[in-house]
Every structure is written in C-alpha cells, then in structure tokens.
Structure 1
Amino acid sequence: MTYMRLTTPPPAPTPAPRPAVVAASPAPIVQPAVPAAPVGEAPRPARHAAAHAPPREDPPPPVAAPPAPVVVSATPSRPPLISAGDGLSPESRQAFRRALNETNKRNRPLTQQARAERQAALAALVSPGYDPGEVARRLASARSLELQARGNVEAALATFTATLSPQERALLAEGLSRVYAPARPIAGPN
C-alpha cells in the first residue's frame, strides 16, 4: 500500500480588475487546475478538492447598454415616389424606376448645392458678423435649387407617363395619389 499526501493546489493568481464592458454573455469561469493522479492510482474524490479550493468568485454581471433613443419625426413621412409604380407591370415598373433613378442622378449636383447653401446659412446664423440678408439669400438659393430638382422629377414623370397604356396610367395615378396625399398627423400620447 502506498501513502499519498493530499495537498491543496497552489492558489490561482487573482486576475487584475477589468473595466466594465458591455458583453453579450458573461465571461467563462476559470477554476483552478487539479493535478492528475499518477497512473494506477484512483483519482481524488471531488469533495476534497472542493473543500480546499479557494472560494469561487462569480464574474460581475454584464453592464446593460442604455436603451437607444426613440426618434419621432415631427412631420409624418410619406411613401417614396418610387412606390407609386408598384401597381405597374414588371416591365413598366422597371422603366419607371430607371427614369426616376436617371433623373435623381442628374439632380444630384443640384441637391448637393442646395445642402451646401443651407449649411452656409446655418453657419451665417452663428457667425460673429451676423448678416440677416446673407442668411435669407442662402436659404432662398437652397429653396430655388430644390424646386429646380423637383421640376426635373415632375418633367421626367410626365415624359414617362406618355409611354404607358391608359390602364397603366390609371394605376400610376392611383399610386401617385397615395404619395401626394396630405400627410396624416402623428397621434400623440393621450
């Protein structure tokens, strides 16, 4: 019979405190390693290891992310213009989308310039030498550019409708009536 001395495993190094991190799942628990029994000997019962093991520390609970803010638009949104062609035949729907996309590509410089004018107007609002005339001119320029872009879209729409049959024109008119319908007010809290 062989005598075997049971010893406690060396204590595991304590991990350095970690900064709080938002985690999807808690970190795995690392338990101290128990030395393997030599070949031919029975393994130690688990109760001995548990009795001499250092107390197990549970990891801190994960920090919950703050809820994302809910953004509610003050003005209700309307369906996009491209959705007006949803009732058309597949070929006509593709042609409609192609016509709108081409027009939007041509309008891109106008809309970028309008955006730049609005940004310049906002910058002029907070400048030390505030000039209300400059702000008004910049906003008027942005509005004029946007109206020009809208006119281009409406001209392309009129040109496209000339290619449709009377039935498809009626379907497109129905779709356009949904797009151009007055926006419904947003229901507020009761």
Structure 2
Amino acid sequence: MNTVVNTDTNSNDTSNGETSEGSIPTDVISLVVAPVVALPTTVLSNFIPYGEKLENFIGVEFKKWHQKMLFYLTTLNLKKFLNEDLPAIQEGENNRASLIALDVWKHSDFLCKNYILNGLDNTLYNVYCSKKSAKDLWESLERKYKTEDAGNKEVHSGKVLGLQNGRFKDGH
C-alpha cells in the first residue's frame, strides 16, 4: 500500500496536528487503494491450444471433425482457401506485386491443404494427398462423408423408430 505523508516544512505548528492553509496535517496519513479487478477464470473444454493437433478423422463422425477443422483453420486465418481458386494473373502482366501475391496465395493454400491432410488418418491421407488444392481436398471430403453421414442418420433413425425394410417390426 502506498502512504502519503506531509513533508511540508513551512507549517507553523505541526505538533498538534494543525497546519498552515493548503497543507496536509502531519498526523493524518492518507492511504491510496487501487481497486482490484479479478479476471474471469473460464475453462474451455473444447479449446484447442495453438499448435495442438486435432483428433485424426478416421472416417466416422465427419460432422464433428468438420466443425473442429473449420474452427482450427479459422484461427489460423486459412479458412478462406477452402472456397477460393488460384488467382489468375492477366496475360502480359508480369509486375512483381502480382507474382508475390500469387506466391503468398500458393504458400497459404499449401499450408491449409496440409493442415487438413494432417487431420486425417493415415489410410485417408494416402487417398486424399494427391488433391491439388485445399479447396479440391475439402470439397472431395464433403462429397464423400457428408452424404455418408446422411445415409447413416437415416439407417439409425429407422432403427430407433423400429422400422425394418420400411415397415414397423410388428408388421404394420
């Protein structure tokens, strides 16, 4: 704690606590107290620390992996490469800025593609590693596993409802 003590030597009578006009009495000690602000201590169970790897996608629960991967790529500022094609340079355009921008795009697309590939199981990695861009890879995974997830939901829903070959198990 900080304390403020009067060190005014111009005071006429400091023995009884009286002071001259405008000075602080020497027998009064002022305390300066700063407010204490507590930061929230929220624990995020699904938070992925920087550099920590997601669980590898093994071919099941695509929707869950898809959402986690989208979040991960968003935090790395790479999500836009899932929708963008290679920028085209105009014919006859050889300015340095355009070539540098193209190189930066290619590098970022390479990173995005390999973050996705790194999130796949080894068997799936071998199937999808030949894709040319992050966009091609992402669209290929979505085509394969989104439709497969939809089919699994229909089969599961039928089991829950008691359907067998389009009919209820009791024959109706």
So what's the TM-score if we normalise by structure 2? 0.27
More helix by share: 1
More strand by share: 2
Q: Which has the higher contact order (CA 8 A, sep 6+)?
A: 1
Q: Which has the larger radius of gyration?
A: 1
